[in-house]
Structure formats: structure tokens, C-alpha cells
Amino acid sequence: MNSPLAVVCHCPCGNVSFDITAPPVFRAFCHCTLCQRFNAAAYADVVVFRASSVTLGDESGIDFKVYKQPPVVYRGSCRQCSKPAVEKIAVPMMPRLIVVPAENITEPALLPESACHIFYDRRVADVDDGIRKYKGFVPSQFAFGSRLVKGLVFGS
Ligand SMILES: [Zn+2]
Ligand SMILES: [Zn+2]
């Protein structure tokens, strides 16, 4: 895609907004129970960006929570609508990442086909979409990690 200078994206109520300045690394569906809880949905539909591609600006409207130790994922929801806004991921040895719920992305060019379903063993409903499904912790982490490395190295 032609990289626009900045696409303004926001949470459903618009209270939290941020600029996306580069294409995503990849998109995935996560069925883990934490994502179910955080998104109040059967699974999360998320788009992964390098943190350097997302300008958050004023973060005072975001309530960041850690659901699991060690804190690898900081899940931020809007203080006004309580819906997911952004998630920050800090994995050792990896560039910092920002995960944006697909719902919060206003520009279709920033929404690639989803690469995979992960933690599919935790699903609350079957999804019949022909996209690869990974079950269990290790295969799911590996699927996420390998899409990430591929996206970071070869671009998306
Ligand atoms: Zn909001
Ligand atoms: Zn998850």
C-alpha cells in the first residue's frame, strides 16, 4: 500500500485516538481466554504494528492493565467507553509492538487478511473461514512468533 503520512484511528467512542504511520506486521485472531475477557467477544481480531508505527500521544484516556505475570502484554482500554483501545507488547529481544483491535482501524488498507487463529482450543465457537488454526500454548505462541518475525524481516 502507499503509506499515508498518518491515519487517525480511535476506540469506538473516539475518546482515545492515535496515528498509524506505517503498515502492520500482520493480523491474527486470538481465542485465548484473556482476549475473550478483554474484548468481551468470542475472540480478538487484532492487527500487530511495530510500536514505532503508532503514535499514541496523550495516554491519559487509556487504562492499561496487566492480566498475567510477567507483564508482557499491557492491555489498554478506553476510560470512557471501556472498550479495548490498544495493547502494548514487550517481548524480550523483539522490537516493541502495539496491537490494535481491527474494530479501531479506520483505514481498510491497514487491515490485511488475518494470518491465523491462535489458541483455537479455547474457542467458544467454531470459525469456518479456511484460515489456519493453531491449538495449545506452544503451537499458538510459535504461530504468532513466526508470523511476527516474517513480517518484521520481510515486511507485510
Ligand atoms: Zn472510547
Ligand atoms: Zn489472546
Report CA(113)–ligand 2 centroid distance (Å). 18
If phi > 0 it is left, if psi is from -120 to 50 it is alpha, else beta; for residue 14 that is left
Fold of 10-154: glutathione-dependent formaldehyde- activating enzyme (gfa) (3.90.1590)
Q: What is the pLDDT of residue 154?
A: 81
What does each of the 156 residues of the chain score in pLDDT, given as a tens digit?
Answer: 555 579 999 999 999 999 999 999 999 999 999 999 999 999 999 999 999 999 998 899 999 999 887 778 999 999 999 999 999 998 888 889 999 999 999 999 999 999 999 999 999 999 999 999 999 999 999 999 999 999 998 875
**CA 32 to ligand 2 center in whole angstroms:** 4
Which ligand has the minimum distance to the alpha carbon of residue 14? 1
Residue 91: the pLDDT is 82
Task: Tell me the pairing of strands 26-30 and 116-118.
Answer: parallel
Compute the distance from residue 98 Cα to the ligand 1 centre, in Å: 17
Report domain extents, the chain: 10-154
